[in-house]
Amino acid sequence: MNRKRLALLQVLMALSVIIVITSIEFVGSVRAGSTETEIVEYTPSISPEEYERRYKEFYGDTTKQMAEEGNPGELMLEDGEELFHSVDGSKGKSCASCHGENGKDLVGAATTFPKYDPEIKGIKTVALQINMCREKRMGAKPLKYESYDQLALELYVKSLSNGMPINVSIDGPAGPFYEKGKAFYYKRQGQFNFNCAICHVKYAGYMARANLISHYRGHADHWPSYRLKWGAVGSLQRRFRGCMKNTRTKPLPYQSEEYRNLELYLTYISNGLPIQVPGFRM
C-alpha cells in the first residue's frame, strides 16, 4: 500500500473510533445535559487489576524494561536535588536551609498533596507550593511551569515520598474543590462533546486507535514522568492538556484553578497507591 493510502486509512480508522464512541454517547449527553450540576457517574468498565492484566497482555514488559535500562527522568531528579540545596533569591536561602539536608523534613510530605490552603482559599499542588516558598520564603522568582528547573524541583520533592501511599484528604474545606474537580472530569466539552470519564472510566481497557485506554485509578501516582512521545519529562497537567487537545477541547493554563481541582480529584482516586517518580510512559 502506498503512503498516501495508508495515511488516509489511518485517518479513517481514527475517525471511526471517534464516531462510534460519539454516537453511543450522544444519547447520554442529551440526558446529562438537562441538569448542569448533576453528574451521571459511570460504572468503571473494568477493575484497575483487569486493566493491569490487559496492559501486560498488550504491551508486555516493554515499558518496564525500557525504564529499567534508563529513565531520563533520573538525570532530572539529580538536578532537582542540586537545586534544592542551592541558594537563590534575596533572602540568601536554599530549600534545604528550612527543610533540612536531603529534604529530610519533607519525607512523606507529597503524599498529602494537593491540599487546601487557607491563604489562597483554594487547592495547592506541589508545584504551586514550591513557587509559594520561593516567592514568600526565599525572595526568589517563581519558576515557570513546565520549565526544566520547575519540573526538576517538583520531581525531587515528590521522590522524597517514593514508595509511600498517596493519602489525600477531601474533608473540610477541600470538599467543594474535590466536587468541582469531579464535575470537570464529567463535563462534556470540545468539538466531540466528550468528557474525561467516558474514556478513562467507561471505556478503560478498550482501544482508541493504537492505544489501550488506561483506568483512571493510577493516573496520579507517577508524575512528573518521562514520555517517549514527548521525548521529555512532563507533568500530570501537561497530560491533561494533551488529552484535551486530542479531543478538540481548548486546553487550560498550567496550575489554573480548574487543573488544580482536577488534580485533587484524580489524586484522591489514586489514594493508597504508592508514589513512584519519575514515571516512564509511552
The contact set with ligand HEC (CB under 6 A) reads 93, 95, 97-99, 106, 109, 126, 129-130, 132-134, 137-138, 153, 157, 194, 196, 198-200, 208, 211, 213-214, 219, 236, 239-240, 243-244, 247, 262, 281
Dihedral angle sign, alpha carbons of residues 151, 173, 215, 202: negative
**Annotated catalytic residue 199:** no
Q: How far is the CB of 124 from ligand HEC (least distance, A)?
A: 8
DSSP label of 123:
E
C-alpha distance across the termini of the chain, in Å: 27
In the bound state with ligand HEC, the residue whose beta carbon lies nearer, of 2 and 68, is 68
C-alpha cell at 183: 464535575
In the bound state with ligand HEC, the residue whose beta carbon lies nearer, of 139 and 176, is 139
DSSP label of 167:
-
In the bound state with ligand HEC, the residue whose beta carbon lies nearer, of 3 and 128, is 128
In the bound state with ligand HEC, the residue whose beta carbon lies nearer, of 3 and 180, is 180
Q: Which residues contact 166 (CB under 8 A, 6 or more apart)?
A: 111, 220, 221, 267, 270, 271, 272, 273, 274, 275
Q: How far is the CB of 4 from ligand HEC (least distance, A)?
A: 25
Name which of 204, 233, 207 is nearest 217 in CA terms. 204
d(CA 50, CA 17): 22
Look-up of cell digits 525500557: 66
In the bound state with ligand HEC, the residue whose beta carbon lies nearer, of 7 and 191, is 191
Q: How far is the CB of 200 from ligand HEC (least distance, A)?
A: 6
- Residue of 95, 98, 133, 243 marked catalytic: 243
Please, is 188 exposed, middle or buried when counting C-beta atoms within 10 Å of its C-beta (0-12, 13-18, 19+)? middle
C-alpha cell at 208: 482508541
Q: How far is the CB of 143 from ligand HEC (least distance, A)?
A: 8
**For the packed helices 257-269 and 175-186, what is the interaxial angle rounded to 10 degrees?**
90
- Provide the β-strand partners of residue 124: 115
Q: How far is the CB of 244 from ligand HEC (least distance, A)?
A: 5
Question: Where in the sequence numbering do the catalytic residues fall?
Answer: 243
